[in-house]
Amino acid sequence: MSFFATAEHEMERLKYFASPEGRDDLYQYNQKERRTVLEVLEDFPSVQMPLEWLIQLVPMLKTRAFSISSSQSAHPNQVHLTVNVVSWTTPYKRKKKGLCSSWLAALDPCEAVSIPVWFQKGSLPTPSPSLPLILIGPGTGCAPFRGFIEERAMQSKTNSTAPIMFFFGCRNEDADFLYKDLWLTHSQNNGVLSEANGGGFYVAFSRDQPEKVYVQHKMAEHSRRIWNLLAEGAAVYIAGSSTKMPEDVTSAFEKIVSKENEVSKDDAVRWIRALEKCGKYHIEAWS
């Protein structure tokens, strides 16, 4: 870029960034602040780069993966997504928005738009109707499980199906309780999430009280029922944020196995590992 800068101070700054001494400042400016190519060009307006250079320098946009959050049987010829609109503040207090999620959120639902889509097999295999399930999906982690639950509700209309226990988490009951009516409907009248059917729906509102309550706390409250379902051969599916959640949830499962099966912590860890080895412990997590 310094080659194409015409203003002296911009050329100097760009040369400094490219030098070994400027490496740390470049890291702060670029990586830490997550500056886009457009933002950099706006910061150095004297740079008049030929279009063909620019096209070669700019990397291809990454594809974004989203879990399908609807069932084909419940919504034929449709694919629903549950998308969190990503936003954050950089170390220099600049407001940033996720590219794809904010673009999707800005679309007008009344206007048709063509979006290129590729379908890929995810890491959560489709469960058979006779497999009891323990699902842990806080936040947009509920996305794949909305599809699972809708699918099982359709299957249960014609055949007997195994129960589902679903643990959901969000910040506040009034703000981000996604698909509240759906979960509550299936929790009643012998629905697929009803306790009467051996299942259950449990929600942790992390910020509705002074102390934080997360899905793993709700799991501990229902420790015995989780163990009973595991002992009946249930499979575990975990989806959502990759930050700390999968680790905390796995640790909660280990504590449940240790307590309810009356085994040591090490044996409980081995028990969960064995579950994973036999294809009954699945995690799909993203940042």
Q: Which residue, 95 or 277, has its beta carbon nearer to ligand FAD? A: 95
Does 178 help bind ligand FAD (rule: CB under 6 A)?
Answer: no
Among 66, 148, 168, 214, binds ligand FAD (CB under 6 A): 66
Q: Write out the binding residues for ligand FAD, residues 69-108 only, by CB under 6 A.
A: 82-84, 86, 88, 98-101
Does 286 help bind ligand FAD (rule: CB under 6 A)?
Answer: yes
Whole-number Cα distances in Å, 136 to 21, 145, 229: 48, 9, 14
- Amino acid 266 reads D
Size of the site for ligand FAD (CB under 6 A): 19
What's the gap between Cα 251 and its chain centre?
19
Q: Write out the binding residues for ligand FAD, residues 140-159 only, by CB under 6 A.
A: 140, 143
The answer to whether 254 and 268 have CB atoms below 8 angstroms apart is: yes
Q: Which residue, 33 or 248, has its beta carbon nearer to ligand FAD? A: 33
Among 9, 23, 64, 224, binds ligand FAD (CB under 6 A): 64
Among 29, 41, 80, 122, binds ligand FAD (CB under 6 A): 122
Task: Give min distance, CB of 241 to ligand FAD, in A.
Answer: 9
Q: Which residues pair with 95 in a beta bridge?
A: 89
Q: Which residue, 67 or 250, has its beta carbon nearer to ligand FAD? A: 67
Per-residue x/- mask for ligand FAD, residues 31 to 60, rule CB under 6 A?
Answer: ------------------------------
Does 284 help bind ligand FAD (rule: CB under 6 A)?
Answer: yes
Q: Which residue, 51 or 117, has its beta carbon nearer to ligand FAD? A: 117
Binding site for ligand FAD (CB under 6 A): 64-67, 82-84, 86, 88, 98-101, 122, 140, 143, 284, 286-287
